[in-house]
Homo-oligomer: A and B are copies of this chain.
Amino acid sequence: MSMRNAFYAQSGGVTAVINASAAAVIETARKHKSRIGKVYAGRNGIIGALTEDLIDTSRESSAAIAGLMHTPAGAFGSCRYQLASIDKNRAQYERLLEVFRAHDIGYFFYNGGNDSADTCLKVSQISARLGYPIVAVHVPKTVDNDLPVTDCCPGFASVAKYVAVSMREAAFDVASMAKTSTRIFVLEVMGRNAGWITAAVGLAEDETTPIPLVLLFPEIVFDETRFLALVDAKVKQYGYCCIGVSEGLKNADGALMAEAGSKDAFGHAQLGGVGPMIATLTKDRLGHKYHWAVADYLQRAARHLASKTDVEHAYAVGKAAVELALAGNNAVMPAIIRTSDKPYRWKIGVAPLDKIANVEKMLPRNYITADGFGITAKARAYLAPLIRGEDFPPFKDGMPQYVRLKNAAVPRKLASVVDYYFTPVSPYTYLGHERFLEIAARHGATIAVKPVDYGRIFPVSGGLPLKQRAPQRQAYRLIELERWSKHLGKALNVKPKFFPVPADMAARWIIAAQAGRGDADALRDDAGALRLTGALLRAVWAEERDISDEPTLAAIAAGERLDPAQLAASAASPDSAARYDALTQEAIDRRIFGAPTYVYRDEPFWGQDRLDFLDRALAK
């Protein structure tokens, strides 16, 4: 493979060490300049690729990239966004491909957890399915530690260290206060499904530092009676008790305690998380003064207390990802393979992505003590090596010095694309059509013409055909149409002679008028299709013509210098029908519900009264 550029993006919840993986990807790529040109980072993850919002990491100094090693969170921005399958949303993949092609991107590095692995797997299929050569490699990251195959997930160990250290420190505090004040301390930690982080709280205590600890795992159904008995016994024996509780603690019905709380669980209202809820419970039932903490983002952002082992893992998987890609491995993820507990030894292996995507690795039952409230020696043997070593960031004037990158944008090569969803019988589409064309032209934006079937869209999106709407709404609609017609100086019969009429055939004529219908080309606009659309809208709303009538369609097409015979034949083909169906399904999948809807960089603008917002968005 000749020299190509690489795309790197961060996905999902960020961690204290994800930037170390970013540094590894960039630094390793820089060592292979003959194979990898530039590393473009997606601004806010995959959204950066979809919107051609790329960051040129070659503009960052070596020092800045090295600084990522000790900087928490996502330096390029992350996102929570999962791609549908190629079959479900082909347009999105076509868009990705267009961006990759425009920037000669041949390597795709995606840094995330389960959902992201799934996205990376889908992107890896572009090569085979859409015939564009690209190698996609997933870089593991998640504080939840729930990816399969890999022994652990970069990001987890630093949270583990944070919660263990924090609980140890808090335990010293509570022990000091217990004589006359606080006897119960509750720390709520992350990990909604898998109890890895909860287990790590158990590391707060060891032989030299005994602490009366009770852990509440998301895997173990909450048993109030046994929990209270244990806490009571600990307080009696030690004078105090520390409780680590997962945000995902569930009751016997499988409902989250945090959500079940509002009235019924303990008989009083609750809006805080499960941490305060558990604290209140011990107070109500055992009478002890309590304190509780919810560390939330602090636990996963705490780069100042990162595990050195974690930082090393994060760097290693980033580096390996680039090396795997250079060796031509598509649809894989570098995995951390533990070869020994004592002394701790590990190496990098390779996992196929289809074994990773959407699989959650739960805490094994034998990591939890028989009573369900603690961790076993097996869990300790697993967890202990991960939190080893410190890697303090540089401090200046008492504050950690975290890097902010320049994050310079790569100049856009593609025109901006606005998806135009409408039906040719829509009055508001008519009212906005010319203004929309003017705005798009002014910004050099391309319009993807997408007539769709609101007869299918309304029933799944809470819409009603005009006649079925409430009388008040029908009346107000007329007022609105009149008002906008006057305001815009655009002639409009509020009750046209041929309305409503079936719009399917007219829509298929518009589709037929599109110059090419290759999947990628379908995104490009077509002067002919847009002219025909405008003429059809005028025909209904200003000229009292029936666009469900084929001879009328032919006359309108002819008026726009299009070949009626060719359009009629094309519109009648199964191909055209399939395209119309696919566009409608795409609109449903993208949560379109009204006409017109303009979509720019995945932001929908519903109604011609939102064109000024679209105008401003295009100006950015």
Contact = CB atoms under 8 A, between A and B. Distances in A.
Interface in A167-203: 168-170, 172-182, 185, 187, 203
A180 B301 contact: no
Contact of A294 (B10, B294, B307): B294
Contact of A400 (B165, B175, B262, B302): B165
Contact of A297 (B161, B174, B300, B384): B174
Given A170-B297, A176-B73, A272-B273, A388 B397 contact: yes
Interface string A376-400: 0000000010111110100101111
Interface string A256-277: 0000001000001111110011
A233 interface: no
A242 to B, nearest CB: 10
A296 interface: yes
A14 B176 contact: yes
A255 interface: no
Most buried by B among A271, A292, A401: A271
Contacts of A514: none
Nearest to A289: B80
A9 to B, nearest CB: 12
A293 interface: yes
B268 A271 contact: yes
Contact of A392 (B164, B303, B390): B390
A187 to B, nearest CB: 8
Per assembly, the copies of the chain total 2
Contact of A14 (B173, B269, B273, B304): B173
A80 B179 CA distance: 9
A169 B392 contact: no
Contact of A177 (B78, B161, B387, B390): B78
A555 to B, nearest CB: 48
A13 B180 CA distance: 11
A interface bracket (residues with beta carbon within 8 Å of B): 35 or more
Interface string A580-611: 00000000000000000000000000000000
B304 A165 contact: yes
A404 interface: yes
B180 A80 contact: yes
A77 interface: yes
A41 to B, nearest CB: 12
Contacts of A180: 44-45, 47, 79-81
A133 B266 CA distance: 56
A388 B384 contact: no
B398 A179 contact: no
A387 B398 contact: yes
A195 B524 CA distance: 58
Contacts of A14: 173, 176-177
Contact of A399 (B203, B262, B272, B303): B203
B387 A165 contact: no
7 contacts: A73-B169, A73-B176, A80-B181, A170-B298, A270-B271, A271-B277, A307-B398
Given A169-B301, A172-B301, A293-B295, 14 more contacts: A14-B173, A77-B178, A78-B177, A79-B179, A79-B180, A161-B398, A170-B297, A209-B399, A270-B272, A271-B280, A307-B398, A387-B398, A387-B399, A388-B397
- Sorted nearest first, the 6 A-B pairs with minimum C-beta distance are A272-B272, A269-B269, A74-B176, A73-B172, A387-B398, A169-B301
